[in-house]
A and B are shown apart, each in its own frame.
Chain A
């Protein structure tokens, strides 16, 4: 990627923040022959994507089934190839009285005049004050993700996660992949906040969830060693050994720059609190300032990409006037965002839509989809070469035509929730696996159920590794009575 470190004095569009929203806007605007400058305070573009080693939900428009780290590369390359001037290690300091934006490029201040400005500066994590929260070892879940996935440093051996939303669940899983043990996940709510498929990965690994519980104190001399939690319903207290306490207690939009530019803020708790009020072109109350991504209301990377595209197109429209197809494209994006946001909150009681019971009795080997929520996600349908999987609207659960399934298992390897299992009634099960060491054929393992409970012994009979995205497909042989219950395994010798 060619990166320029010189700043011009003026440009058509200045984009602050090179995450999914800023990059998507840069691609659209620079691709329409506009002079676009994209600044980011970090040395690498991609925003939070560069820490995200999990596969994305969404549709192919949102790079569904692709890991965040790869999406960061793809978007950065695309923006650079579109002719966007990309300036890393450059912070936007604020708004000067003459209308220019003050920037600091590695400590050297300068000012830039732009016809349109996009603020795509992302969100900030919430802290959670409790006795001992300032101890080293207590940090945000995002910090732990940075240490682990960017710097290959384990934030702790025994980790206590506070918060069971998607951030808490995903980061817990990623720390386990790097070799940590999740001592507990604690949440004051009485049900898990994040997606059931993310929680299921942790539950089948035996991670204890303490719901309706709160962290009371972190104890340690120079860093955290122990944590006390209280169970609300029973009033009992537990003491848990942990050398890291991670806070996954929500995000808020970053609004400092928007406020400085005079953008009116609005308030919506579901989107993280205050953020700049904007219309359906992503224009804020200040006519030449646009907003997109988490700083325009905290949602997901997929919606950030689409909001960025929308803002990029709208700014191009402002400067260059009507472009063929632009309005149509913007409408498409709007309807995609609408469909994506239309996800009904799950009640936790949804019926298994394609459980073993739904399968015609004659079948011997078939995929089981343990995907019960209306997540905006369809990579399984896109990946099926036989066209056996239908996802009606983006938030519908998959429906399988078993008469067309060839048993190729692409749906297993692509599912971002690792929620598809290949059941063979004759006594084997294949599942997606992303832990080291690589399982070896012939290895004897402890078979585990959906809550991590041991169900018996089995053998690994195959391990296929997809070189492209590293997800392994592991086949286990077992007593045929267990195929509907086994969903994971433990290595012998694992504690």
Chain B
């Protein structure tokens, strides 16, 4: 999916802060605070999760944090809804296989 930088109605801000985050170890650029799934889609990554039973690709579906289709592993926490979770500097994100493994229970 491509970003656009001009629009007949909307003002597309040009001075948005850029950050770097990591997708499966690869550094990627993003705008600070945009949803993780948006940053990935702009980098050409649409298949953010693989289903539990048949390992099929899944991507953004509802876009408002209701359907769980874009669940990913974010900083060791599985099942993070990436369409409504802001991307931050240095975040580590990876595709989730099935239900996802808990690497970090959030208490460390």
Contact = CB atoms under 8 A, between A and B. Distances in A.
Interface of A: 41-42, 53, 67, 69, 124-125, 127, 134-140, 142-147, 149, 151-157, 177-179, 222-223, 434-436, 470, 472
B9 A53 contact: yes
Contact of A136 (B4, B35, B48): B48
Interface string B65-100: 110010000000000000110000000000000000
Contact of B2 (A67, A142, A154, A472): A154
Contacts of B61: 127, 138-140, 143
A149 B38 CA distance: 12
Interface string B1-31: 1111111111010000000000000000000
Contact of A222 (B9, B41, B57, B62): B57
A455 to B, nearest CB: 24
A138 B66 CA distance: 16
Contact of B46 (A125, A137, A151, A178): A137
Query: Counting chain A CB atoms within 10 Å of each CB, which of B63, B66, B83, B84 scores highest?
Result: B63
Contacts of A152: 3-5, 7, 10, 12
A139 B59 contact: yes
| Shortest Cβ-Cβ A-B pairs, 3 listed | A136-B59, A143-B63, A136-B46
Contacts, number: 99
Nearest to B38: A151
B64 interface: yes
A178 B64 contact: no
Given A139-B63, A155-B1, 6 more contacts: A69-B10, A140-B62, A143-B61, A153-B42, A177-B9, A222-B46
Contacts of A179: 4
B62 A143 contact: yes
A470 B62 contact: no
Query: Counting chain A CB atoms within 10 Å of each CB, which of B34, B51, B62 scores highest?
Result: B62
Query: Counting chain A CB atoms within 10 Å of each CB, which of B38, B41, B64, B84 scores highest?
Result: B64
Interface residues of B, number: 34
Tell me what chain B mostly uses at the interface: helix, strand, loop, or mixed.
loop
Contacts of B5: 152
B32 interface: no
Contacts of A53: 9-10
19 contacts: A135-B59, A139-B59, A139-B60, A142-B62, A143-B63, A143-B64, A144-B63, A147-B1, A147-B38, A147-B60, A147-B63, A152-B5, A152-B10, A153-B4, A153-B41, A177-B8, A178-B4, A223-B57, A436-B6
B104 interface: no
Nearest to A222: B47
A52 to B, nearest CB: 11
B60 A136 contact: yes
A151 B38 CA distance: 7
Contacts of B10: 53, 69, 149, 152
Contacts of A140: 61-63
Nearest to A140: B62
Contacts of B69: 134
Contacts of A146: 63-64, 83
A470 B9 contact: yes
A134 B35 CA distance: 21
Contacts of A41: 65
Given A152-B4, A178-B7, A179-B4, A134 B62 contact: no
B93 to A, nearest CB: 16
B94 to A, nearest CB: 16
A67 B34 contact: no
B62 A435 contact: no
A124 B64 CA distance: 10
Nearest to B2: A154
A223 B46 contact: yes
A177 B7 contact: yes
A142 B64 contact: yes
Contacts of A145: 63
B1 to A, nearest CB: 5
A172 to B, nearest CB: 15
Contact of B3 (A125, A142, A154): A154
A136 B7 contact: no
Contacts of A143: 60-64, 83
A142 B1 contact: no
